[in-house]
Amino acid sequence: MKKLALTLLFATIGTFTMAQSFSFGPKAGINISNYTGGDFKTDSKVGYHFGGMLNFGIGNHFSIQPEVLFSTVGAKVEDKQNVTSKDNFKVSYVTVPVMLKLKTTGGFYVEAGPQVGFRTSTDLGNQTIDNFAKNLDLSLGGGIGYQSNIGLGIGVRYIAGLTKVGNFSGSNIDPDFKNSVIQASLFWAIPVVKK
């Protein structure tokens, strides 16, 4: 954990020293999340995310964008004892995505990169499952969007979980499932240093 944090810190510092432009600002939006894998029926759940971002521009079209977001994800899970009811499973994370962005001169961009999530809370509705969500969640993200000349933008990102959400036993749910999230965001990248 410490090695991962130090690696991200040094990568960010190294990027800042090479950056030709720099901006920062707020970001917020909605999450549409579900679980992939497992042996139970689920429906998507709507959540939210908010936080901030930094953007280090290198050249005219490439940038690296680390973010820190509070994010709620989960799913509506069918109760195997009562198939007519569904429990809202919600897990909150502080996520740290680091996106590599390629932007056109017209403002459209594509992005991809890793994300680390640190669990802050778990709410399983009427269910009680010890250790439902692990403290650490690793994912990969990719997306598209548009950013105006003044930094206002909109983006859509898909985040695919790489690690299992939980590591539990003794429940009627198979723990072999991962997070799957679509994020739609509004943001404002306020320029501080321009090339």
- What range does the domain containing 111 cover? 2-193
Greater pLDDT, 87 or 15? 87
The pLDDT of residue 91 is 94
The pLDDT of residue 129 is 77
Give percent above pLDDT 90 in the chain: 60
Greater pLDDT, 148 or 21? 148
Sign of CA dihedral 37, 40, 41, 42: negative
CATH of the domain at 137: 2.40.160.20
Instruction: Return the H-helix or E-strand segment holding 122.
Output: strand 108-123
Q: What are the two backbone dihedrals, phi and then psi, of residue 129, each rounded to the nearest 5 degrees?
A: -130, 110
Q: Encode pLDDT of 109-162 as tens digits.
A: 999 999 999 999 998 877 777 778 899 999 999 999 999 999 999 999 999 999
The pLDDT of residue 20 is 81
Q: Please give the C-alpha separations between residue 138 and each of 10, 96, 97, 160, 191, in angstroms, as whole numbers.
A: 20, 10, 10, 9, 30
The pLDDT of residue 99 is 98
- Kindly report the pTM of this predicted structure: 0.84
Greater pLDDT, 115 or 41? 115
Q: How many domains does the chain have?
A: 1
